[in-house]
Amino acid sequence: MSSRTHIVAIVGAIISLLIVFRLLRLQQLRSKYALLWSIIAVLLVPLASFPSILEWTSDRLGIEVPSNALLFAACGLLFAISVHFSWELSRLEMRTRILAEEIALLRAQSASDSNSSTNNQP
């Protein structure tokens, strides 16, 4: 990789980190997700700065092309994040359904209470 590519990768990782911090400061990103993305951005800076790390890791794992190791790791990370978001979405859908049912019960109870108080007036 050329030095220009290294600089672009480093700048990209730093910009990603700044975006995460800005979203966190504006309270548009929860801290648990901000921590995840911050760790990823921080890990990308030395990887972009010293590509020999990726080459060394690829050699240890038996992967001939270092970029394949990076793509494999990225796919694994994206898969894990997708599974986590699916789990989170399922949990939130269940909570939303329960809350909707509770609101319906409260409205029905409120309507029956107002009907019975109207009928009891002299």
Between CA 95 and CA 90 the distance in angstroms is 9
The answer to whether residue 79 sits within a structural domain is: yes
Q: Taking residues 28-45, what's their average pLDDT?
A: 84
Q: Identify whether 58 is part of a domain.
A: no
The answer to the question of residue 30 being in a domain is yes
With 0-12 / 13-18 / 19 or more C-beta atoms within 10 angstroms meaning exposed / middle / buried, residue 94 is exposed
86 and 41 in one domain? no
Give a yes or no: residue 121 inside a domain: no
In-domain check, residue 57: no
pLDDT in tens, 45-87: 888 788 888 889 899 999 999 889 889 988 999 999 999 999 9
Residue count of the chain, please give it: 122
Same domain, 10 and 38: yes
pLDDT of 24 = 85
Q: Report the number of distinct structural domains present in the chain.
A: 2
- Tell me, yes or no, whether 41 and 80 share the same domain: no
Handedness of CA 82, 87, 92, 97 (dihedral sign): positive
Average of per-residue pLDDT across 24-52: 84
> How many whole angstroms separate alpha carbon 67 and alpha carbon 29?
30
- Across the range 113-118, mean pLDDT stands at 73
* Residue found under tokens 């409120």: 110
Identify the residue with better confidence: 113 or 76: 76
What is the average pLDDT score of the chain?
87
Residue 9, domain extent: 1-50
Give the pair of three-digit tokens for residue 107: 């409205």
Residues ≥6 apart with Cβ < 8 Å to 63: 69, 72
56 is a domain residue = no
- Are residues 33 and 73 both part of a single domain? no
